[in-house]
Amino acid sequence: MFLDEVKIRVKAGDGGNGCMAFRREKFVPRGGPSGGDGGHGGDIVMESSQRHNTLIHFRFYPEHKAGRGEHGMGSNCTGSAGEDKVLKVPVGTLVYDETTGDLIHDFHRPDDRIVIARGGRGGRGNQHFATSTHQAPREYELGRAGEERFLRLELKLLADVGLVGLPNAGKSTLISRLSAARPKIANYPFTTLEPNLGVATIGEWPEEQSFVIADMPGLIEGAHLGAGLGIQFLRHIERTSVLVHLVDVSDDSGAEDPVEAFKTINEELASFGHGLSDKPMLVVATKADAANPEKLKKLQTHVRRRKLPFFVISSATGEGIDELKYSIAAHVDANRKLHLHDDDSAAESTFNV
């Protein structure tokens, strides 16, 4: 099961209470106050992990608590600190405060670690309240409560390439040809009910290049209004560097006009927003082995007018697969170099400040 959004409650540990005690021991005529401090409560820590790819492990465990600090003891003994609670989330998880709606953190790198809720401070024992005029204090502090937060976790898969198109356009078949992914493939719409990821490689080690492909469940007209599978999965291609738009040009396609099918998907991307319509796009005519020449020519003419890269492939025979694969790799590589340059410039400007 694929779960990409979940709500949880986290409660950091409370601090232990301070102790009120007096030292009365043999050979210690003036023992005085000896109440120890309470231990600090445990923190709630979140850490991104590449071993997780969904949020399913939060579905049946929506509440998470850290250990509370132990109370202080006599002889100036401090209570033990509460045990931290570490929550593992997939890379690509966004953490929102459910109460305010604010974004708390974006886990876009592996092994990223933050404290999401801090434990309460332990209370002070009566040893801290002794003065020259108040030598037998009975005051002590209670431990402070740990932070409690209601969070919404949203997962956006980290992929370099997003495959989009109408249902049964050949997205699942293409990802199976480009990578080792084996999604469900069948000759009916909405075969894919959740996003699939695949890793494609170009060249040989140590010069090989790899990129991650996300196969999005098929969109239909009116998806932004909730039709079909809606646009619940489009968030997973917000971070992609290039979109590959697949259009079925065979006579078996549900759409009579491939240009209208192409426009339908573009309109849904624009309706969703978040910059999807501005991403570089490669247009791919699929099922070339059974293509209708008129449909193919009409789509090719429209795409060339828009000055978009155009490819004709057949996942069944392998026609055009290598050419498309190398073109995708080139776009991904160019985007990575651009972001690397931007990161270096940002780091340099920060250093100069």
Give the pLDDT confidence of 137-157 residue by residue, as tens digits.
999 999 999 999 999 998 887
Burial (Cβ within 10 Å: 0-12, 13-18, ≥19) of residue 221: middle
**CB neighbourhood size of 283 (10 A):** 22
Q: Per-residue pLDDT averaged across 301-328, rounded? A: 91
Nearest Cα to 141, choosing from 12, 40, 23?
40
Q: Say how far apart CA 325 and CA 328 lie, in whole Å.
A: 5
The 10 Å CB-count burial string (b at 16+, else e) for 106-128 is ebeeeebeeebbbbbbbbbbbbe
Contact in structure between 38 and 126 (CB atoms under 8 Å):
no
Domain 1-155 has CATH 2.70.210.12: yes
pLDDT at 1 over 50: no
Query: What is the Cα–Cα distance from 4 to 236, expressed in whole angstroms?
Result: 9
Which tens digit of pLDDT belongs to each residue from 33-92?
A: 999 999 999 999 999 988 887 888 898 899 999 999 999 999 899 999 999 999 999 888
Is 161-345 in the same CATH topology as 1-155?
no
Neighbours of 157 (CB within 10 A): 25
**Span 220-277, pLDDT tens digits:** 665 555 555 556 667 777 778 899 999 998 887 666 788 998 998 888 888 877 787 8
Q: How far apart are CA 233 and CA 107, in angstroms?
A: 18
Q: What is the pLDDT of residue 347?
A: 40
Q: Where are the domains of the chain?
A: 1-155, 161-345
Average pLDDT of the segment spanning 320-336? 88
CA 272 to chain CA mean position, Å: 19
Mean pLDDT confidence for 310-324: 90
Which residue's structure tokens are 């339908």? 264
Give the list of residues 6+ apart from residue 303 with CB closer than 8 angstroms, or none.
262, 283, 310
Residue 104 has which token pair?
């708390």
Distance separating alpha carbons of residues 250 and 309, to the nearest angstrom: 20
Return the minimum-mean-pLDDT range out of 182-186, 325-329, 346-350.
346-350
* CA nearest neighbour of 164 among 110, 98, 242: 242
Exposed, middle or buried, 287 (CB in 10 Å: 0-12/13-18/19+)? Answer: buried
Tell me the C-alpha to C-alpha distance, in Å, between residue 86 and each of 82, 107, 203, 348.
13, 15, 39, 34
Pairing of strands 209-215, 196-202: antiparallel
The whole-angstrom separation of Cα 101 and Cα 95 is: 10
- For 161-345, CATH number out of 3.20.20.140, 3.40.50.300, 3.30.70.520, 3.40.630.10 equals 3.40.50.300
For every residue of 237-254, DSSP letters joined together read GTT-SEEEEEEE-BTTSS
Cβ distance 156 to 92 under 8 Å? Answer: yes
For the residues 208-219, what does the mean pLDDT come to? 77
**111: which 2 tokens?**
């092994």
